[in-house]
């Protein structure tokens, strides 16, 4: 009986580790060594968070990814314009035509591609609000299939085959009248 209990506990312990296996932490509150800066956004580390509130630019991963899952925790002002650009084909020209833009922009003039959407690919309705609190984004890209989940709510489940691989980037861009602030406290990726 003790042996059977040991085998069951060992098997359960192995299963408990499986979901977290393969995750790579790109930002853990200490440095930005996994990223290159593009543009003039004032990215900095404050109290274990990566923060930007001025300029226009990106933190671009040094690595390139094909099929992957991204998990990140972020805090945005209501009028912050941010997002995560995935499968970028050009590190110097980052936009929604050269990559997929998973948006963070509660006050986007056209809310159909606001927070939770992939700009130009997958609309969101109703648009969830992320401003003024901590949020969790989970983004899965596998082949031409994309799933975006914000705080446990699936906002996108779509197929599109324009971009197959590339780095991803965290964005800061001017928002409305006041540019707002974006903060990330965890950025992880798991190749699939």
Indicate whether 3 belongs to any domain: no
Pairing of strands 100-104, 145-150: unpaired
Indicate whether 19 belongs to any domain: no
Instruction: Evaluate the CA torsion angle 86, 90, 91, 96 in order and state its sign.
Output: negative
Indicate whether 87 belongs to any domain: yes
What is the 3-state secondary structure of 93-127? CCCCCCCEEEEECCCCCCHHHCCCCECCCECCCCC
pLDDT tens, per residue, the chain with 192 residues = 444 333 333 333 333 334 457 999 999 899 999 999 999 999 999 999 999 999 999 999 999 999 999 999 999 998 899 999 999 999 999 999 999 999 999 999 889 999 999 999 999 999 999 999 999 999 999 999 999 999 999 999 999 999 999 999 999 998 655 578 999 999 999 999
> CATH no. for residue 98?
2.60.120.560
pTM for the complete prediction? 0.87
Cβ-proximal residues to 38 (8 Å cutoff; 6+ apart), any chain: 57, 58, 59, 60, 91, 92, 94, 169
Indicate whether 11 belongs to any domain: no
Q: What are the residues facing 134 on neighbouring strands?
A: 75
- Distance from C-alpha of 96 to C-alpha of 10, rounded to nearest angstrom: 47
pLDDT the model gives residue 176:
57
- Distances from the Cα of 60 to the Cα of 99, 113, 128, 135, 192, angstroms: 12, 22, 26, 21, 20
pLDDT the model gives residue 20:
53
Domain encompassing residue 106: 24-191
Six-digit token pair at 57?
């630019």
Give the count of domains, the chain: 1
């Amino acid at each position: 009986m003790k042996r059977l209990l040991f085998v069951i506990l060992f098997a359960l312990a192995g299963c408990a580790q499986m979901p977290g296996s393969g995750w790579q932490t790109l930002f853990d509150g200490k440095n930005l060594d996994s990223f290159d800066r593009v543009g003039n956004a004032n990215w900095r580390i404050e109290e274990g968070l990566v923060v930007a509130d001025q300029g226009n630019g990106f933190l671009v991963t040094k690595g390139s990814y094909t099929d992957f899952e991204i998990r990140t925790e972020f805090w945005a002002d209501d009028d912050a314009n941010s997002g995560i650009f995935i499968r970028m084909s050009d590190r110097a020209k980052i936009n929604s035509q050269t990559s997929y833009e998973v948006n963070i922009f509660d006050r986007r003039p056209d809310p159909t591609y606001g927070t939770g959407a992939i700009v130009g690919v997958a609309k969101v309705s109703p648009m969830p609000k992320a401003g003024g609190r901590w949020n969790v984004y989970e983004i899965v890209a596998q082949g031409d299939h994309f799933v975006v989940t914000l705080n446990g709510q699936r906002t996108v489940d779509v197929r599109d085959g324009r971009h197959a691989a590339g780095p991803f980037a965290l964005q800061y861009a001017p928002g409305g009248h006041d540019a707002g602030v974006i903060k990330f406290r965890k950025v992880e990726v798991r190749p699939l």
